[in-house]
């Protein structure tokens, strides 16, 4: 498999799955803690996790996708780092608003919030993927082996 094929389509399926699932679990855990802390009225925890969640969803996909691209996990896995956690967050918010969790009002805002997070997260993952591919190609050009 050539370097370009490995970078675009991936060579390490297990590592790619671990990358996407691990990040999704982290986002889901922070979202669950935020909702739970809001429900039981733990203001410091709810405030901290509510401020951490947007940073985790929008900004964290870039470095994670960069590492995934450098490790040759492939473009689909790196872009999934931007999509899967936001879909998980949207599903969690939809379920919370459906069951009437305190502090979570139902309505179209769930779709709007998820859509805006999705745009930012996918853009962040794409930039990270491009940075990781560039780093891998530069390292290969210099002659240092980056593919194990």
Taking all residues of the chain, what is their mean pLDDT, rounded to a whole number? 82
Distance, in Å, from the CA atom of 131 to the CA atom of 65, rounded to the nearest integer, reads 9
Domain range annotation of the chain: 12-142
pTM: 0.81
pLDDT for 1 beyond 70: no
| Torsion 82-62-17-23 (CA) sign | negative
Q: What is the mean pLDDT of residues 58-74?
A: 90
pLDDT for 146 beyond 60: no
């Amino acid at each position: 498999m050539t370097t370009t094929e490995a970078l675009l389509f991936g060579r390490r399926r297990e590592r790619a799955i671990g990358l996407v699932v691990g990040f999704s679990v982290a986002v889901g855990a922070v979202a669950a803690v935020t909702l739970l802390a809001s429900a039981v009225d733990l203001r410091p925890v709810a405030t901290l996790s509510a401020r951490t969640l947007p940073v985790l969803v929008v900004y964290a996909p870039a470095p994670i996708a960069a590492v995934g691209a450098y490790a040759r996990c492939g473009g689909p896995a790196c872009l999934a780092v931007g999509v899967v956690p936001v879909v998980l967050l949207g599903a969690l918010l939809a379920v919370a608003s459906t069951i009437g969790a305190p502090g979570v009002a139902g309505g179209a805002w769930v779709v709007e919030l998820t859509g805006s997070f999705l745009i930012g997260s996918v853009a962040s993952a794409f930039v990270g993927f491009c940075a990781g591919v560039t780093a891998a190609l530069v390292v290969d050009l210099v002659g240092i082996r980056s593919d194990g």
